[in-house]
Amino acid sequence: MSHLDLRSSDDRDPPRGRPAYLRCHHCGGEFSLDAPGTRHRNHCPWCLWSVHLDNTPGDRAADCKGGMEPIAISARPDGEWLIVHRCGTCRAVHVNRVAGDDSERELLALAVRPLCHAPFPI
């Protein structure tokens, strides 16, 4: 089962000018396709899970449709954060831009996760 469903808020095709919504099957949150800071919303802002929909950003051409677990945070040289996702079905790894409405708590929890599993005492 895919972790995001494309739908409007009333389960019909969205009227022109009204954004469609996604529902996350991982956490159940509903959110707009419009995402500040990125052109291609591809993950839930509440739990950061995604779905393997794209081969390249925005193409929606992937056949897998597996759940993409957020596994890490990466940072570009300019300081922009990226979420690293791994597909639970085909194991593909994709890097996605953080959106302006992503949960800061979830982003920070993901960023410090390696410290919780350090190979030495902290």
Annotate the chain with DSSP letters as a single string: --SEEEE-TTSSPPPTTS--EEEETTT--EEES-BTTBSS--B-TTT--EE---SSTT----S---EEEEEEEEE-TTS-EEEEEEETTT--EEEEEPPTTS-HHHHHHHHHHHHHT-SS--
Does residue 120 surpass a pLDDT of 90? Answer: no
pLDDT in tens, 5-16: 443 334 444 445
Confidence of residue 118 (pLDDT cuts 50, 70, 90): confident
Q: Which residue has the higher pLDDT, 92 or 58?
A: 92
Domain boundaries, the chain: 4-116
Does residue 3 surpass a pLDDT of 50? Answer: no
